[in-house]
Structure formats: structure tokens, C-alpha cells
Structure 1
Amino acid sequence: MKTLIDIYREELEQEALTTRKMLERVPTEHFGWKPHKKSMDIKMLATHIAELPTWVTMTLKTDGLDFAANAYNPTDVKNTEELMQHFESSLKDGLSELTPDKLEHLEEVWTLRNGEEIYSASPKYAFIRTTLSQIVHHRAQLGVYLRLLNIPIPGSYGPSADETNF
């Protein structure tokens, strides 16, 4: 029977297929573009998506993240090629921690906070699930960005409207 580690590993590998297709379409010349003043620019959004697999590693190796004590410093990718390299490196990192010996740590509590304000405190297995969901969530946001830039959207769980005759 598969363990939760096996299931998460398979899911991360499966989602990486679609994530690659989305990230490779982010045009360097539009890195500063954003659909709204409250939105991230496309470079920041894509970089965040690319780095999310490392959150699996962070979850398994730490007991939490405190935004007040850890300023967010995304990798400064210069072009789409560097974005893709960053994603592949992050994916390799996240997959490297989804090993059988980590199974015993999945019940440990992992806390996401900003100083004294606690956003969530849950078992590590639950936060890994949240991380996988964040990949899908932010990838969907990226799909909207690409659509607004008239860039064809690749299919995720089947063909997209750009890949069919809809």
C-alpha cells in the first residue's frame, strides 16, 4: 500500500508537468506586467510558483515559518529560461525530501505565523497538502494573467480551450 509520502511525491511529479507548461509560456518581456495594482507582477507570481516545491522541504525540515523573522527574498530570475531552471531546482529539492524516512514526521505540528499572529498550526502532512494546493491555486492565477496577455493556455487536466475547437 502506498504511503502518504508516496502519494505526495506522485502528486508533485504530476503537477510539475502542468506547471512546466505554464511557466515556460511566461514571456520575459512581460515580467513587470500585472492585471491590477493590488496584484503581483507576472514575474513575482511565476517565481513564487517555481519555488513552491521547496516549501515541502521547509515543512519537513522545520517546525514552522515566521514571516516577521524571515523576510521574503524571491530568487531574481532574469528571463524565462532562468525561471524554468529555478523551477527544476526547486522541484528536485522538494522531491528529495519526500522519502520513506520522513513518514514518521508527518504528524508533527508545523506553524505558519507572522510574529505573534498564527495563520495556521497543523500537522506537517496537512501543510504539505496546502503547499500542493498553493501550486495549483497560483498556477490558475497565472493562467488568468496569460489569458489577459493573449497567450494560449496549456491544458491542465485535459485540453484547454486553446487546444480544442471551442
Structure 2
Amino acid sequence: MIKQGLLNEFNYEAENTRKLLKAIPDSALDYRPQPHLWSVAQLASHIANIYTWFDGTFNYDTFDIGNLERVEYDLTSAADILAKFEGHYQEAKKVLENSDESTYMNDWKMVAGENVLIPASPKIAMVRGFLFNHLYHHRGELVAHLRAAGYPVPGLYGPTYEDSQKR
């Protein structure tokens, strides 16, 4: 029952992620509002990459992010980032569909070798906080970057201000 709720949210929000990534023109990829912030390309590739973390979160009680295979992105191609997202999305969807709901209350932690990055907490809390909310946070940053650069953004939860002014 919990899994079905997670799947519904996952699929709905993946469509929002897809809309946002499709809205990125190559001309926006190098933009960063401040020198210390990630560029649009770096944010977009990080968003796409979060979908590779589903296996380590759902299928293990200890996720060693140091063992995660690094995915290389062409940061000069929005189409490449979108294509990688699509593949990662399909893999993450399978992981979620095949997850064992009886493990959702297991303690889960993230490590990098011997270093504990996220201390033990119920897996379901980490699915919501570490995977889902983390993803939404970075999507918000990406929307802000695109807007600051003067690019249009899609409405994710209804029409954008610009859309509402067209009526």
C-alpha cells in the first residue's frame, strides 16, 4: 500500500522532471547566477543522477555512495542529460516496483567507505527525504537558474505566472 503511493508520486514527479529537463536549451547550460553555484548543466545532470540512487536506497540497508558507479554527462548537450535521465528513470522505476515493502521500516544509512554521511533512520524516511525531497529541492534551484537567465520554465504544479498572463 505504501509502495503504490510512492509509485504514484514517483511517476507524477518524474513527468515534472522530464518537462523541466526538456525545457533546457543548450544555450543555458553554462549559466550560473553566482560563480560558486552549480551551472544549469551541473544541476540538470545531478537531478538525472539522483535516479541512480534508488537501488542503493531501496535494496540495501547501508548505501555506500563511494561504490556508486559514476555516470559521465556531456555538459554541453541538454539532449544527452535528458537521455541519461530517461534511462535512469526506467531503472529507478523497476527498483521501486520490485521493492519489498516489508523492508521500508529497516534502519538505513549512507556511508562513503568508513565515513557515515547520513546516520541510520527508517528507510521510508530516507526515500522521502533523501531521494524525493532532495530531487524536488534541486529542481527548484534549476527553475530559479533558468528564470534568472531569462529562459521560460514549464508549469510543474499548475500554470506559471507567464502562462496565467496569456489568458
TM exceeding 0.5: yes
Q: Kindly report the root-mean-square deviation, in angstroms, between the aligned alpha carbons of the 2 structures.
A: 2.1
TM-score under structure 1 length normalisation: 0.86
Matched pairs, number: 163
> What SS does the aligned partner of 2:121 have?
strand
Aligned partner of 1:75 in structure 2 is 72
Evaluate the alpha carbon distance shift between residue 117 and residue 37 of structure 1 in structure 2; reply closer, same or farther with a 3 A threshold. farther
Deviation readout 1:23-59 (Å, 9 max, x if unpaired): 1122223322211122111111101111222222220
Q: What is the CA–CA distance in structure 2 between the aligned matches of 1:132 and 1:160, rounded to whole Å?
A: 22
Letter in 1 for 2:144: V
Evaluate the alpha carbon distance shift between residue 163 and residue 136 of structure 1 in structure 2; reply closer, same or farther with a 3 A threshold. same
Aligned partner of 1:112 in structure 2 is 110
Q: What is the CA–CA distance in structure 1 between the aligned matches of 2:72 and 2:59, rounded to whole Å?
A: 20
Q: What is the CA–CA distance in structure 2 between the aligned matches of 1:152 and 1:101, rounded to whole Å?
A: 37
Aligned partner of 1:161 in structure 2 is 161
Please state how far the C-alpha of 1:85 moved relative to its aligned partner.
1.1
Q: What is the CA–CA distance in structure 2 between the aligned matches of 1:123 and 1:35, rounded to whole Å?
A: 36
> What SS does the aligned partner of 1:157 have?
coil
Q: Percent identity, please.
A: 26
Evaluate the alpha carbon distance shift between residue 80 and residue 56 of structure 1 in structure 2; reply closer, same or farther with a 3 A threshold. same
Aligned partner of 1:102 in structure 2 is 100
Deviation readout 1:47-105 (Å, 9 max, x if unpaired): 111122222222012233345x4478343134111111111111111110123651122
Q: Is 1:134–2:134 an aligned residue pair?
A: yes
Q: What is the CA–CA distance in structure 1 between the aligned matches of 2:99 and 2:165, rounded to whole Å?
A: 48
Runs of 4+ aligned residues of structure 1 deviating over 4 Å after TM superposition are: none
Aligned partner of 1:34 in structure 2 is 32
Which shows bigger deviation, 111-120 or 25-34? 111-120
Match of 1:55 among 53, 56, 62: 53
Letter in 1 for 2:72: T
Q: What is the CA–CA distance in structure 2 between the aligned matches of 1:100 and 1:74, rounded to whole Å?
A: 23
TM-score under structure 2 length normalisation: 0.86
Please state how far the C-alpha of 1:110 moved relative to its aligned partner.
1.5
Aligned partner of 1:21 in structure 2 is 19
Please state how far the C-alpha of 1:144 moved relative to its aligned partner.
0.3
Unaligned runs of 5+ in 1: none
Q: What is the CA–CA distance in structure 2 between the aligned matches of 1:163 and 1:120, rounded to whole Å?
A: 43
The structure carrying a bigger helix percent of its residues is: 2
Unaligned runs of 5+ in 2: none
> What SS does the aligned partner of 1:151 have?
coil
